[in-house]
Amino acid sequence: MWNTIFVQPFLNLLLAFYKVFFSNLGLAILGVTVLIRLLLFPLTLPMLKMARKQRMIQPELDKLKEKYGEDKEKLAKEQMRLLRENGINPALGCLPNLVQFVFLIALYQVFIKVLGTNGQDMDVLNQLAYWDSLRIPAGGGINIRFLHLDLTQSDPYYILPVLAGALQWGAARLGRAQRAPVEKEGEGGIMGDIQGQMGVLFPLMTVFVGFRLQSGLVLYWVASVLLSLLQQWWVAREYAGEEAA
């Protein structure tokens, strides 16, 4: 069922972009990434709006810190109550990331199972293709070169993993600044503590995992996070007028 619902459609989507972009797998991965981010935008937009709304209630959060600053448990409860009353659900921010991981796992399995370079793997790939136009010609193979990369191997110069981690850190910092731009380190209560820790740990995990993953996967992740940053910037610009009003 997993292959039918996720892996095979993802493979055919990748093959379609591969054909469109002149048999360039790197460009195909970038094209698929843009499409996925556009499809996920209806899920991402409420999360970004929620971040802007949290920014607007920052003065009320500050009052709670002053009132319950010595009682961390009470502060956390009151913060959660205030967030709920304003329609802010912190768990909502996890949904787009979870969907992203589903696509990442599907792409990983595409690389592992069918994007090899031997004839047997090409036979498997062609069997999974929906239409003849997506099939690889007999005796041919997938062009796995992109810039200095073999997309089925890890980046030998570690450029992509470090870039992915840096972009992930930038996205976390931007997101936190949009939620609470005047919040000082160590004064954000339980929500601020969690966000601060994840803002450091997740980029480090991205770099560490990226060292071991195929560069095609890391290329997908870099492009995805970069597009996420652009979406955050767009929402910040569009809703800046609401705060001024």
Residues 6+ apart with CB under 8 A from 93: 47, 50, 51
Tell me the average pLDDT across 160-180.
81
- The model's confidence at residue 24, banded by pLDDT at 50, 70 and 90, is very high
Token duo for residue 164: 């992915």
114 touches 11 (CB < 8 A): yes
- Position 60 scores a pLDDT of 86
Alpha helices per DSSP H over the chain: 2, 8-20, 25-56, 58-68, 72-85, 94-114, 119-128, 159-179, 189-212, 215-244
SS3 (DSSP) at 6: helix
- Give the chain's mean pLDDT: 80
Q: What is the pLDDT of residue 188?
A: 47
Q: Which residue has the higher pLDDT, 183 or 164?
A: 164
- Judged by average pLDDT, the poorest of 48-57, 201-210, 216-225, 235-244 is 235-244
In this prediction, residue 63 carries a pLDDT of 84
In this structure, the number of other CB atoms found within 10 A of the CB of residue 78 comes to 19
Give the per-residue pLDDT at 187. 46
Give the tens place of pLDDT for each residue, 77-104. 888 888 888 877 766 666 677 777 788 7
Percent of the chain with pLDDT over 90: 27
Q: Average pLDDT of 180-185?
A: 45
Count of beta carbons in the 10 Å neighbourhood of residue 109: 17
With bands split at pLDDT 50, 70 and 90, how would you rate the model's confidence at 181?
Answer: very low
In the prediction, which pLDDT does 185 show?
A: 43
| Region 212-228 average pLDDT | 91
Which tens digits make up the pLDDT trace of 107-150? 788 877 766 654 456 777 888 899 999 998 877 788 889 999 99
Mean per-residue pLDDT for 9-37?
Answer: 92
Task: Determine the pLDDT at residue 182.
Answer: 41
Stronger pLDDT, 222 or 78, i.e. the higher one: 222
| CB neighbourhood size of 13 (10 A) | 19
- Rounded Cα distance, 193 and 205, in Å: 18
Pick the more confident residue, 43 or 15: 15
Does residue 193 surpass a pLDDT of 70?
no
Q: pLDDT (tens digit, 9 = 90+) per residue, 60-77?
A: 888 888 888 777 888 888
Q: What is the pLDDT averaged over residues 26-44?
A: 89
For residue 120, the model assigns a pLDDT of: 55
